[in-house]
Amino acid sequence: MSNPLLLQLPNTFRAFYGGFLRLHKAQQEAVGPILKGKDLVLQAATGSGKSEAVLAPCLERVIQSGRKTAVLYIIPTRALAMDLKRRFESIITERLGLNLAVRTGDIKRAGGKSPDIMLTTPESLDLMLGSANSDLKAFLFRVKIVIIDEVHSLIHQYRRRHLVYLFTRLERKTGLPLQKIAMSATISRADDVIGFFGFQDSVQSVMASVKRKIRARLLHIKKEKTEIPALLNDLYDTWQYRKILIFVNSRVACDRLFSIVNKTGKFQGVSELHYSNLKPLERKKAEKRFRKRSHALCIATSTLEMGIDVGDVDAVLLYQPTGSVAAFLQRIGRSNRREQEINFWGICCGDCSGDQLVRFLALLELSGKGKIEFHSDRTLPSVLSQQVISCLYEKKGSHLRLCNLCFQISTRFCLLFSNPLKKNAG
């Protein structure tokens, strides 16, 4: 493959892009700014190769630095960490000869004593900053680049404020500003990300979202037990759909629909469940079976909205509308990732089916105009008090008594803040 980027990425181009027939816009435009050390906000459609777009230049910098530079890859969920490991471990460790580490709440895989890149969650990063482990300390001192994946899921929660504090602590530890790279398929406003996370003035934005036509079909279901299998049979026979993903809004609905579709119809015996209450190993096995089968159905909650690769999907069904435009776009974006159209079926049911239809129409209208929810910044004193305790724990030793005192004060403060009725009690 002949490509000008080959000269910029002599070590990583073939490893990451050798299997691509052509590079997406995101992959072409992200390389230059990252190699120059600039902060970057990357918005690109689901399945457009965002991870490859940032990993190739970031690891090129690691190699060219003689492995004096390390990368911290922040993800919102442990499941996404394991999926990224499955997809890129052989490229990073075998083809590039670098060390990949994964550190989440229930997994600690070092990938060698000196990781060159680590996949982790905000909570695990907090623990690492306070760890006395010499290998972890050495790794954190080498971190010059931070990648924030699926940033839309972090920016409107307490975890965004948490990450801001963690990045500040990390920069004070290393004495150098971090190069920050944020990416998602659904960013409402790039300026929000830039401002919230304190990106450099030279930050660049790459907006490479592919405008895909949404083929929306809205249905009203009255009798689940008979109409759902009939609908799926019709999608199989008439529409020739073999891989279908159904999103629901609750675990109860997940279990109910699964009990129906796995007992009768074209998807009997080839249906999977995916939600947070399942054990990680069960979810991983469900993802693998769904990905490998040519004929399968998966019923999921928000756990499959982000990032996890489950292969090509012929159509997405939303069982009742989502609560936000961002979630709507994430879910329907899982369908026909390599095509110019999205096959989406919206199902209305129950006593509120009329309201659900209006909400579906509103989601289609807003998403068509590119309007995604914006949430203003909030003051979260509970996060600040937690970070005070975390910083004191990091120092340990003579500060332990002070840490205990701060814990008591912070707990009292948070209780009062969360319950205004008790403010006059103390």
**pLDDT for 13:** 92
3-state secondary structure of 244: strand
Amino acid of residue 375: H
pLDDT in tens, 54-82: 999 999 999 999 999 999 999 988 878 88
Task: Give the confidence band of 359 by pLDDT, cuts at 50, 70, 90.
Answer: very high
Amino acid of residue 341: E
Average pLDDT of the segment spanning 258-263: 92
pLDDT in tens, 190-244: 787 888 888 888 888 887 665 677 888 999 999 999 999 999 999 999 999 999 9
pLDDT in tens, 398-426: 455 555 655 565 555 555 444 443 433 33
3-state secondary structure of 21: coil
Task: Give the confidence band of 185 by pLDDT, cuts at 50, 70, 90.
Answer: confident
Which of 94, 20, 21, 11 shows the shortest CA–CA distance to 51? 20
**pLDDT for 307:** 66
Task: Give the confidence band of 380 by pLDDT, cuts at 50, 70, 90.
Answer: low
Alpha-carbon distance 403 to 389, whole Å? Answer: 6
**pLDDT for 131:** 83
User: Which residues have C-beta within 8 Å of that of residue 219, sequence separation ≥ 6?
Assistant: 231, 345, 346, 347, 348
pLDDT higher than threshold 70 for residue 106: no
More confident residue, 301 or 426: 301
Task: Give the confidence band of 374 by pLDDT, cuts at 50, 70, 90.
Answer: low
User: Which residues have C-beta within 8 Å of that of residue 228, sequence separation ≥ 6?
Assistant: 221, 257, 260, 261
Task: Please report how many Cα atoms fall inside a 13 Å half-sphere around the Cα of residue 170, on the Cβ side.
Answer: 29
| Element (DSSP H or E) covering residue 210 | none
**pLDDT for 317:** 94
Which of 106-120, 212-226, 307-321, 377-391 shows the lowest per-residue confidence on average (mean pLDDT)? 377-391
Q: Specify the pTM.
A: 0.77
User: Which residues have C-beta within 8 Å of that of residue 239, sequence separation ≥ 6?
Assistant: 314, 315
- List, as own/partner pairs, every contact residues 36-39 make where C-beta atoms lie below 8 angstroms and the sequence separation is at least 24, other chains included: 37/61, 37/179, 38/179, 38/200, 38/202, 38/203, 38/204, 39/179, 39/180, 39/181, 39/194, 39/199, 39/200, 39/202, 39/203, 39/204
Alpha-carbon distance 426 to 417, whole Å? Answer: 12
Domains (range + CATH), the chain: 5-208 (3.40.50.300), 213-368 (3.40.50.300), 381-425 (no CATH)
User: Which residues have C-beta within 8 Å of that of residue 309, sequence separation ≥ 6?
Assistant: 83, 86, 87, 291
More confident residue, 168 or 71: 71
Average pLDDT of the segment spanning 238-267: 92
**pLDDT for 415:** 52
User: Which residues have C-beta within 8 Å of that of residue 320, sequence separation ≥ 6?
Assistant: 248, 249, 253, 347, 348, 349, 356
Average pLDDT, the chain: 83
**pLDDT for 324:** 86
pLDDT higher than threshold 60 for residue 366: yes
Q: DSSP assignment, residue 14? A: H
**pLDDT for 378:** 62
